[in-house]
């Protein structure tokens, strides 16, 4: 009981911190001041790296979408990681690409690159065709092919809003110690996309997709905003984040033996910078929005959440030296212990409760009135936390939902506490139990075309 209350109180504290932070951002005009940097000569050019594996349904449309981004200088680097479908053929055909000699330095070791393709009609598009090595290997190949000091990693099925890249690029001008900046990821299911640009928002039809929408608001707007305040955010979503290239090269690039590469690289950067006493910032920018597909079935959600938990466990085990280590400041004393106690072991504690509480009731060890009151209190705290995420979404003044949609999602914020949350927790524990089996297995998720 005490564990659940403590965790809920931490979540509520995160919401309060995030509310204060977002309110300050809005008050000082952060949501609009980035436009003054649009044509700034100081704005650093960015290489957008899109790893693609069997993305024939989305890749061409996504590239066309990214070409319309509001940013003065950027290049798109699509890395085909040994796809077995028609990803390669569709890229070659759509952009009339032809092979070229690549003169770039290759500081990171990768699987064999077959060819690099180009077309002068699309001067900022580079297409790298390589043998399969996994997402991390594809990102490293993209870094090798890049020309610019910043790079952004993007999923092939994600869509950026026109100004999202500008908002993140702006962070590297305002504070030159910034080494990583992450954006807000939202569920695109149900949205309307025209010519590759996200135009309007509709709630997804399936309950499983609506539950995820509520989850993402809570996780990103409450969790990551609050951790960003103390420069102790441990993960930047693989769907959308911008990095200083040299820093990533200095720490050795992405590890290819983990499926939690998005968390692992950020934790490694924290460890490297703190160990070498280099001033740095890892930032979260709630106004830089990326739309991504959420799984459309419970089985696919299961695959995703097991993978996330395996990635979390793998990273925490690898960096266990950080826990309660004052040398690593907030990272060692707060962020890593929190992830051990609540994000990793919390799932085990919760599932244990699913069995021990009914057993205690049957054996007469637990008072029925006490159980009912505890259940109601835990449910109310969960509902409050879900509502907090929805309120934060609207308060960003970037809210795209109507009042009716907010009410509908609020209902799902209530319902998720009675079945969905428990299923997610079980999936997480399953991932931990099967850690050794799953640690090098990505798992496939069915997707549909993100389109008009």
CA–CA separation, 331 and 327 (whole Å): 9
Residue with the bigger pLDDT between 195 and 30: it is: 195
Burial 56-76 (b: 16+ CB within 10 A, else e): bbbbbbbbebbeebebeebbb
- How many CB atoms sit inside 10 A of residue 332's CB? 21
Question: Which among 48, 76, 45, 62 is positioned nearest to 169, based on CA atoms?
Answer: 45
Average pLDDT over residues 306-322: 97
Classify 48 as helix, strand or coil.
strand
Beta bridge partner(s), residue 187 = 292
Domains of the chain: 34-298 (3.90.550.10)
CB 332 within 8 A of CB 338: no
Classify 135 as helix, strand or coil.
helix
DSSP 396: T
What integer pLDDT is reported at residue 365 of this predicted model? 83
CA–CA separation, 420 and 208 (whole Å): 8
Query: In this predicted model, what pLDDT tens digit does every residue of 61-82 receive, in sequence order?
Result: 889 989 989 899 999 999 999 9
As a dihedral over the C-alpha atoms of residue 363, residue 367, residue 372, residue 375, rounded to 10 degrees, the angle is -70
Residue 80, Cα to own-chain centre: how many angstroms? Answer: 21
Structure tokens of 422?
């428990």
Where are the extended beta strands (E) located within 93-233?
Answer: 98-100, 113-118, 125-130, 150-154, 159-160, 178-187, 192-194, 197-200
Question: Which among 148, 160, 157, 170 is positioned nearest to 74, based on CA atoms?
Answer: 148
What integer pLDDT is reported at residue 39 of this predicted model? 64
Query: In this predicted model, what pLDDT tens digit does every residue of 143-199 receive, in sequence order?
Result: 999 999 999 999 888 888 888 999 999 999 999 999 999 999 988 888 777 665 666
Average pLDDT over residues 309-334: 97
What integer pLDDT is reported at residue 452 of this predicted model? 47
User: What are the angstrom distances between the C-alpha of 317 and each of 276, 337, 435?
Assistant: 22, 12, 11
Query: In this predicted model, what pLDDT tens digit does every residue of 375-421 receive, in sequence order?
Result: 888 888 888 888 988 888 877 755 567 888 889 999 999 999 899 99
Query: In this predicted model, what pLDDT tens digit does every residue of 204-240 receive, in sequence order?
Result: 989 999 999 999 988 888 899 999 999 999 999 988 9
- How many CB atoms sit inside 10 A of residue 354's CB? 12
Classify 327 as helix, strand or coil.
helix
């Amino acid at each position: 009981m005490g564990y659940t209350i403590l965790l809920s109180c931490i979540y509520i504290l995160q919401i309060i911190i995030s509310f204060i932070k977002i309110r300050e951002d809005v008050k000082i005009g952060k949501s609009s001041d980035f436009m003054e940097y649009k044509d700034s000569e100081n704005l650093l050019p960015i290489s957008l790296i899109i790893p693609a594996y069997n993305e024939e349904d989305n890749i061409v449309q996504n590239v066309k979408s990214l070409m319309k981004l509001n940013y003065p200088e950027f290049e798109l680097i699509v890395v085909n990681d040994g796809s077995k479908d028609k990803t390669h053929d569709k890229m070659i055909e759509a952009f009339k690409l032809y092979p070229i000699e690549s003169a770039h330095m290759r500081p990171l070791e990768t699987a064999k690159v077959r060819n690099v393709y180009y077309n002068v009609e699309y001067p900022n598009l580079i297409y790298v065709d390589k043998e399969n090595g996994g997402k991390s290997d594809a990102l490293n190949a993209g870094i090798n092919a890049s020309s610019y000091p910043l790079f952004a990693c993007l999923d092939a099925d994600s869509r950026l809003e026109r100004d999202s890249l500008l908002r993140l690029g702006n962070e590297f001008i305002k504070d030159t110690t910034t080494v990583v900046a992450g954006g807000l990821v939202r569920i695109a299911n149900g949205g309307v996309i025209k010519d590759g640009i996200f135009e309007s928002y509709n709630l997804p039809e399936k309950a499983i997709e609506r539950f995820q929408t509520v989850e993402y608001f809570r996780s990103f707007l409450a969790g990551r905003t609050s951790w960003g305040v103390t420069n102790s955010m441990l993960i930047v979503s693989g769907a959308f984040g911008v990095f200083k290239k040299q820093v990533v090269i200095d720490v050795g690039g992405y590890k290819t033996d983990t499926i939690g590469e998005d968390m692992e690289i950020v934790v490694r950067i924290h460890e490297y910078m703190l160990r070498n006493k280099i001033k740095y910032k890892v930032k979260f920018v709630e106004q830089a929005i990326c739309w991504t597909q959420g799984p459309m079935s419970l089985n696919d959600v299961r695959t995703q959440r097991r993978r996330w938990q395996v990635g979390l466990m793998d990273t925490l085990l690898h960096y266990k030296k950080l826990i309660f280590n004052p040398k690593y400041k907030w990272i060692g004393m707060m962020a890593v212990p929190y992830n051990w106690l609540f994000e990793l072991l919390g799932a085990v504690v919760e599932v244990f409760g699913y069995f021990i509480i009914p057993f205690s009731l049957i054996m007469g060890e637990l008072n029925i009135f006490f159980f009912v009151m505890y259940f109601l209190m835990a449910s109310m705290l969960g509902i409050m936390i879900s509502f907090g995420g929805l309120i934060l979404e609207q308060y960003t003044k970037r809210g795209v939902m109507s009042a009716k949609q907010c009410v509908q999602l609020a209902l799902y914020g209530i319902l998720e506490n009675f079945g969905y949350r428990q299923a997610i927790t079980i999936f997480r524990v399953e991932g931990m139990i099967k850690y050794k089996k799953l640690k090098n297995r990505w798992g496939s998720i069915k997707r549909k075309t993100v389109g008009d």
